Structure 1
Amino acid sequence: MNGMWLACLVGIGGAAGTLLRYGVGRLLLAKNKPGYYGTLSVNLAGSLAMGLLIGLRLEQENAAAYALTGIGFLGGLTTYSTLNVQKATLSGGGSRRTLTLYLGATYIGGLGATALGFALGTYLHT
């Protein structure tokens, strides 16, 4: 598969992931949850899913599927920019405790979710 088709798959996956992220955020806001709940949810789910794809060795075995799901969909689903805006907002006027818990859940939780996904993917691949 040539680079142009892979780029199209990344774009299609990215659009779908972005729409899902937006939907999750809107759903949680409608339930009166803080905005960072949606960001944390999609970032942890995306970390788990990316670990799974890496463990399944999808990039080596099916470049097109990895472009669509890993780079595209999960790249669109997860968000570093919104995380940084929320960190700045929480540090400026929010609770330091909330900020610390959010950062811990994001970085430690993300690492743990990726490791868990990788272990699961490796187990399923063998």
Structure 2
Amino acid sequence: MGTASFRMNRVALLPVLLLTVCVVPLAFAATWTLVFLLVPVLAATWVLRVGVDVGDDGVTVRSPAAARHVRWGEVAGIRVAERGDLWLVTTRGTEVRLPVLRARDLPRLADVSGGRIPAPAQPR
């Protein structure tokens, strides 16, 4: 099966670039305002880092600062939240949010999981 990665679309870096252009004049207004340059850096880090990796050994959920790996044996299922967010439910009863995936991504997630995550039923 290999590994499949789900990440934010890189087009999301365009607003980050615009934010950088807007922040630069403010950042150089005084020495202490250089801290404002951290805002676009953190936003770019979010876009580039956050995601989900699905592999033969399990699911890895990446945030800007950390990653959490859940082995297939620990996966109890997927919960679809009211707004379409996906949550990975573990056998311990905990839940891990799948940050870039929505309910519309369930068929693709089921496909790359090799059948470990069931595909949603098709409406008749």
Query: Which structure carries more relative contact order (alpha carbon 8 Å, separation 6+)?
Result: 1
Q: Which has more helix, going by share of residues?
A: 1
Fold equivalence (TM over 0.5): no
Instruction: Give the structure-1-normalised TM-score.
Output: 0.27
Instruction: Give the structure-2-normalised TM-score.
Output: 0.27
Q: Which has more strand, going by share of residues?
A: 2
